[in-house]
Amino acid sequence: MVDFEKGNGLIPVIVQDFQTLEVLMLGYMNDEAWQKTQEEKKVTFYSRSKERLWTKGEESGNFLHVKSYHVDCDKDTILIKAQPQGPTCHTGTRSCFNTEFNQNFIAELESIILQRYEFPSDESYVNRLRGRGINKIAQKVGEEAVETVIAALTESDLDFINETSDLIFHLLVLLREKGISLETIAKNLENRHQ
């Protein structure tokens, strides 16, 4: 399935966060590292400098748990979608590419809201809002939509950004309440675009 011959026994592997799709790192695998990754469901690379296999997180505990993988059309590059257990980079950052912020934080926020649903806490705003029922959640989305329109027409850009953020947050809670994921919405938008 994977052609290790093209790269003299090593192929590049791109690792993405399975939820946010943020690129976390790039490494290399030989056939042995690939087999170990598939068996243990933890990303294992071949270290070119140490000339040995190394499982990401073997010293730090910051493993990359494999959720899915995809081989490219030429069979000489692998994309792994993984759940990071802590920072990916040895410098302590989420990504080895040191991006200023997570551009896909909305997907991560969806995951945080799901966690609030699965593990409710009295201190959680999501839990308190959920306790008031779907009618109140839907009402909050409506209120935030109106406030977003007003901010767009009469207030500062910062006010508009804040109101838009409130709207998106409450819409994510409503989606969770309805049991609909952002992925479902994205697929629907993609289908409608065609």
Query: What string of pLDDT tens digits covers the 194 residues of the chain?
Result: 888 888 789 999 999 998 888 899 999 999 999 999 999 999 999 999 888 999 999 999 999 999 999 999 999 999 999 999 988 988 888 888 876 666 678 888 898 899 999 999 999 999 999 999 999 999 999 999 999 999 999 999 999 999 999 999 999 999 999 999 988 998 999 999 87
Q: Strand, helix or coil at 177?
A: helix
67 and 121, same domain (yes or no): no
72 and 16, same domain (yes or no): yes
Examine residue 40 and state whether it is found in any structural domain, yes or no: yes
68 and 119, same domain (yes or no): no
* Number of domains, the chain: 2
d(CA 172, CA 126): 10
47 and 111, same domain (yes or no): no
d(CA 104, CA 33): 29
Q: What is the pLDDT, as a whole number, of residue 171? A: 97
With contact defined as beta carbons under 8 Å apart, do 49 and 57 qualify?
no
Q: What is the pLDDT, as a whole number, of residue 20? A: 80
Range of the domain at 133: 105-191
71 and 115, same domain (yes or no): no
DSSP state of 138: H
